């Protein structure tokens, strides 16, 4: 028998494959008995016993008690040892950083929210040429402080964390290391930032676009489970999208795949120099600011004169609950505008599923989803299924945590990397 990618089926490789299969089963099902693990993996009772003894000695599983409900002594139950490893995640946005730490089972053990200096400019607007930008050292301090806050709540130290995933708007350009498409995030644009973060923290640090992480959360925990070709449309403080093709995130050559706010669309002025403008046609047509402006044009009452966080989502929620003229017209026009941009996306990508996510979309619930679905079927030849996002509480943070946990589990559950057990003395027996 051969292992993955044609690896010769040596006993050590086969043991590692069996170990990983058992660990994945324990993650999925929770505590299991030796007999149950044997049945699920197809291993004999002696082999399952040796496997569990090996994993227990490695600090990966522990006995948690015995099964009950049957006559006679209960079978011993085994579970993943939560202390075997920890992962951390940050969701970075203008004005705040959310942090979380989870043990290897996925249980969140510490959270923290750090308030950061307010925006130096409006979202989607580039800085003035003469504006003094905060140094990257401020971003490093903020990351460290947010991480330490979550670790303190968890009773852990930095050295206990095996990986940190940081989610931000925009994307770090592969060639320069500079954050692009996120001029509204002060202090994060130095090309040295990633190196400084790596030097300041003892664990590997990965970075990912925030909307991509929301898609990871939906794929692993929410509406996109079981789907491999997905477009996630995000509208919160800005419009964005994530493309999952063949089960993998598509980031593009510079990391800018999914920056659909810059997409030229019918019904919006043609924006030139989008990099300097910090905006584009779809953003100007269906972004949160455009939604508030549309509500004022339609005579919707109680629309705030100045945009503030959550205002667009509150407006959408109110419109979805009302049947009067201005509110219903607002929701219908908003759905048409969203479908206009989505039509361009689905005609190119032809996804199986579209997930609507972000507060300014999920606030509309089934009413908005049905309107967008109906409009999209009129505007695009492909007719993907539309669903509302199910991960509505900290989706970016949860996606970052899931990404970190995948990497950590691959590392610590790979028992083939561990030293081979010492040869048993003559006359000894393997544990049963």
Cα R_g (the chain), whole angstroms: 25
Q: Does an H or E element contain 225, and which?
A: none
What is the DSSP secondary structure assignment for residue 44, as one 8-state letter?
A: -
Tokens of 115: 């308030």
What is the DSSP secondary structure assignment for residue 229, as one 8-state letter?
A: S
Contact 169, 184 (CB under 8 A): yes
* Residue 182 pLDDT: 82
Contact 228, 246 (CB under 8 A): yes
Contact 186, 426 (CB under 8 A): no
What does each of the 432 residues of the chain score in pLDDT, given as a tens digit? 444 444 455 788 888 999 999 999 999 999 999 999 999 999 998 999 999 999 999 999 999 978 665 544 558 999 999 999 999 999 999 999 999 999 999 999 999 999 998 653 334 444 443 344 556 788 999 999 999 999 999 999 999 999 999 999 989 888 888 888 888 888 898 899 999 999 999 999 999 999 999 999 999 999 999 999 999 999 998 899 999 999 999 999 888 899 999 999 999 888 888 877 778 899 999 999 999 999 999 999 988 887 788 899 999 999 999 878 899 999 999 999 999 999 999 999 999 999 999 999 999 999 999 999 999 999 999 999 999 999 999 999 999 999 999 999 999 998 877 655 444 333 333 333
Q: Which residue has the tokens 């900290």?
A: 394
**Single pTM value for the model:** 0.88
What is the C-alpha separation between 135 and 152, in angstroms, rounded?
Answer: 26
Could you give the residue ranges of the DSSP H alpha helices within 42-128? 45-57
* Residue 221 pLDDT: 95
* Residue 134 pLDDT: 58
Q: Cβ contacts of residue 256 below 8 Å, gap of 6+?
A: 171, 180, 181
* Residue 123 pLDDT: 40
Topology of domain 84-213+395-411, per CATH? Nucleotidyltransferase; domain 5 (3.30.420)
Q: Does an H or E element contain 248, and which?
A: strand 248-250
Contact 364, 327 (CB under 8 A): no
Going along 48-144, which residue ranges are E strands? 61-66, 76-80, 86-93, 96-103, 108-115
Q: In a 3-state reduction of DSSP, which class is residue 113?
A: strand
Long-range interactions of 344-348: CB distance < 8 A, separation 24+: 344/263, 344/265, 345/231, 345/233, 345/241, 345/260, 346/231, 346/376, 346/380, 346/382, 346/384, 347/380, 347/381, 347/382
What is the C-alpha separation between 256 and 180, in angstroms, rounded?
Answer: 8
**Phi, psi values for residue 240, rounded to 5°:** -155, 170
Domain 225-388 - what CATH class?
alpha beta
What is the C-alpha separation between 18 and 37, in angstroms, rounded?
Answer: 10
Q: In a 3-state reduction of DSSP, which class is residue 385?
A: strand
* Residue 353 pLDDT: 97
Q: Does an H or E element contain 35, and which?
A: helix 34-41
Q: Alpha-carbon torsion 310, 212, 362, 233, what sign?
A: positive
* Residue 120 pLDDT: 39
Q: Which of 353, 127, 395, 357 lies closest to 240 in space, CA to CA?
A: 357
Q: In a 3-state reduction of DSSP, which class is residue 173?
A: coil
Q: Cβ contacts of residue 150 below 8 Å, gap of 6+?
A: 88, 99, 100, 101, 110, 111, 112
* Residue 10 pLDDT: 74
What is the C-alpha separation between 118 and 134, in angstroms, rounded?
Answer: 12
Domain 8-80 - what CATH class?
mainly alpha
Fold matches, 84-213+395-411 and 225-388: yes
Q: How many CA atoms lie within 13 A of 387 on its CB side?
A: 19
What is the C-alpha separation between 16 and 11, in angstroms, rounded?
Answer: 9
CA distances from 32 to 70, 82, 225 (A): 15, 15, 25
What is the C-alpha separation between 379 and 330, in angstroms, rounded?
Answer: 19
Number of H helices and number of E strands within the chain? 14, 15
Q: Which residue has the tokens 């490695």?
A: 58
* Residue 122 pLDDT: 38
DSSP string, 269-324: ----SHHHHT--HHHHHHSHHHHHHHHHHTT-SS--SS--TTHHHHHHHHHHH--S
* Residue 118 pLDDT: 61
* Residue 309 pLDDT: 83
Q: Are strands 230-235 and 239-245 parallel, antiparallel or unpaired?
A: antiparallel
Q: Are strands 76-80 and 96-103 parallel, antiparallel or unpaired?
A: unpaired
The ranges assigned to domains in the chain are 8-80, 84-213+395-411, 225-388
């Amino acid at each position: 028998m051969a292992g993955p990618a044609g690896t010769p089926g040596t006993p050590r490789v086969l043991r590692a494959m069996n170990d990983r299969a058992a660990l994945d089963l324990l993650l999925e099902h929770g505590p299991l008995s030796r007999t149950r693990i044997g049945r699920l993996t197809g291993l004999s009772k002696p082999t399952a016993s040796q496997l569990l003894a090996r994993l227990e000695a490695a600090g990966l599983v522990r006995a948690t008690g015995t099964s009950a409900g049957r006559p006679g002594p209960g079978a011993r139950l085994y579970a993943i040892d939560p202390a075997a490893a920890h992962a951390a995640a940050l969701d970075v946005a203008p004005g705040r950083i959310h942090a979380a730490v989870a043990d290897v089972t996925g249980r969140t053990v510490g959270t923290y929210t750090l308030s950061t200096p307010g925006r130096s400019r409006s979202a989607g607007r580039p800085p003035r040429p003469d504006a003094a930008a905060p140094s990257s050292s401020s971003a490093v301090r903020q990351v460290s402080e947010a991480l330490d806050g979550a670790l303190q709540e968890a009773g852990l130290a930095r050295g206990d964390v095996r990986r940190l995933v940081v989610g931000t708007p925009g994307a770090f350009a592969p060639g320069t290391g500079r954050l692009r498409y996120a001029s509204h995030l002060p202090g994060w644009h130095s090309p040295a930032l990633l190196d400084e973060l790596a030097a300041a923290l003892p664990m590997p640090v990965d970075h990912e676009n925030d909307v991509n992480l929301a898609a990871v959360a939906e794929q692993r925990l929410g509406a996109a489970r079981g789907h491999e070709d997905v477009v996630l449309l995000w509208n919160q403080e800005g419009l964005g999208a994530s493309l999952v093709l063949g089960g993998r995130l598509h980031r593009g050559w510079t990391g800018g795949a999914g920056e659909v706010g810059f997409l030229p669309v019918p019904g919006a002025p043609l924006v030139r120099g989008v990099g300097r403008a910090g905006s584009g046609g779809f953003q100007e047509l269906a972004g949160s600011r455009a939604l508030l402006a549309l509500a004022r044009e339609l005579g919707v009452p109680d629309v705030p004169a100045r945009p503030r966080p959550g205002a667009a989502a509150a407006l959408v929620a109110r419109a979805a609950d009302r049947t009067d003229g201005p509110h219903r017209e607002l929701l219908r026009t908003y759905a048409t505008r969203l479908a206009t941009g989505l039509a361009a996306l689905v005609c190119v990508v032809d996804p199986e599923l579209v997930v609507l996510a972000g507060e300014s979309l999920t606030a509309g619930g089934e009413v908005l989803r049905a309107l967008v679905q109906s409009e999209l079927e009129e505007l695009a030849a492909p007719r993907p299924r539309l669903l509302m996002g199910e991960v509505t509480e900290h989706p970016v943070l949860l996606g970052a945590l899931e990404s970190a946990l995948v990497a950590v589990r691959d590392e610590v559950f790979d028992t083939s990397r561990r030293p081979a057990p010492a040869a048993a003395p003559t006359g000894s027996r393997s544990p049963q």
